[in-house]
Amino acid sequence: MSNHSKISRREILRLAALGAFSAFITACERAGVPVTGNNTPAAAPTQDVITQNAPTPDLQSLAGSNSVPITSAENFYITSSGPTPKVPANWKLTITGLVDNPLTLTLDDIKAMSSVTEMRTLSCISNPVGGNLISNAVWKGVQFKELLTQAGVKNNAHFIKFESFDGYSTSIPLELGIDDHSLLVYDMNGAPLPSDHGAPLRCLWPGHYGMKQPKWLQTVTLVEQYSAGYWERQGWSSEAKVLPFSRIDSPQDLAAMSGDTFTLSGIAFSNESSLSEMEISWDDTNQWQTTELTRGPSPLVWTVWTWTGKSLPAGRHVIYARATDGNGQMQVRAATFSLFGSTFPNGTLDMQSIVLDFKG
């Protein structure tokens, strides 16, 4: 969270009434690891993740010809509404509600279906400006629409409600559920999905924040009317559409700069409309400089950006990073401070800035 100390009492009371303050604290358990200058994950955090004794996957081979970094399961950020639940060994997925053929499926049933493997970046809706609640992995699972086809969706079904073993729930429109990139996944980075990341089965929907993508999936219900879920009832967005995001990973804030040139680098991410442009500027932001982009295999994967140019005049300068998505939606300079770093209730659109000291 921001270091600013002045928070409007009215804002605190308003958000407390919605439960947003407690929601933010419990939602963000562990930050992901920033991407370093050489596109490899930094050192792992102290909390370990059990990966069911699976061999450690070769992350570089998983990336294939793509040079964007993959986050290991141990470094992948975690958000949840509570502790990791103990899912029973005889777990089954139930698909019910407005369907012609209700289904009860074991994990083996699901794994017997045609599988798909996709690289996908996930981001938390409460990821602050320049924050680390964003990670990238390679996932294996099935297209959710294949299960819906088996179940036979009735004409009056317009929404899909998801319920998890930890008591979590949320809903999405049927149109999102039948998207080709809407997946139910059971593998992460070439190994069985770890418990902390939703084993035995979790959801992946394109273009939406993590709060809409339940872990530890238990029940899928086709319904006619929208049903607000856990975070939505506390005031967070019902749509939770990913907003353009960028982060400056190198150099660090307040770094001393010397030499004739300097280099900036970081990551950027948007929704399925793709990242249209990534720019940097300094001081008055009257002029923006286009960065060099290393894209992932799809718009649903983060982009690594770099920029090198002539060093600025001696003194302290404020550096800004700005991403624009394919719909023309652009990050903006933060006008005023707000609780949670402007993330509540839709995620933040604010751009990050850092301060650099140039020695001349």
Distance CA 111, CA 263 (A): 46
Q: In the chain, where are the structural domains located?
A: 9-234, 245-358
**pLDDT top residue among 17 and 305:** 305
Q: How large is the average pLDDT for residues 147-161?
A: 98
Please give the mean pLDDT across all residues of the chain: 85
206: β partners: none
Identical topology for domains 9-234 and 245-358:
no
Q: Is the dihedral of CA 46, 52, 53, 59 positive or negative?
A: negative
Share of the chain above pLDDT 70, in %: 80
Rounded Cα–Cα distance for residues 123 and 121 (Å): 7
Q: How far apart are CA 341 and CA 43, in angstroms?
A: 26
Mean pLDDT of 175-192: 98
Determine the topology of domain 245-358 in CATH. Answer: Immunoglobulin-like (2.60.40)
Q: Answer yes or no: is pLDDT of 28 > 90.
A: no
Please give the CATH superfamily to which domain 9-234 belongs.
Oxidoreductase, molybdopterin-binding domain (3.90.420.10)
- 152 pLDDT tier (thresholds 50, 70, 90): very high
Give the tens place of pLDDT for each residue, 307-339.
999 999 999 999 999 999 999 999 999 876 665
pLDDT tens column, 214-238: 999 999 999 999 999 999 999 999 9
Full strand arrangement of the beta sheet holding 292-294: 245-250, 261-269, 303-310, 292-294
At 335 the pLDDT is 73
Position 297 pLDDT exceeds 70: yes
pTM: predicted TM-score of the whole model, two decimal places: 0.85
pLDDT of 173 above 90: yes
- Beta strands 315-325; 353-358: pairing state: antiparallel
Report the C-alpha gap between 357 and 360 in whole angstroms: 9
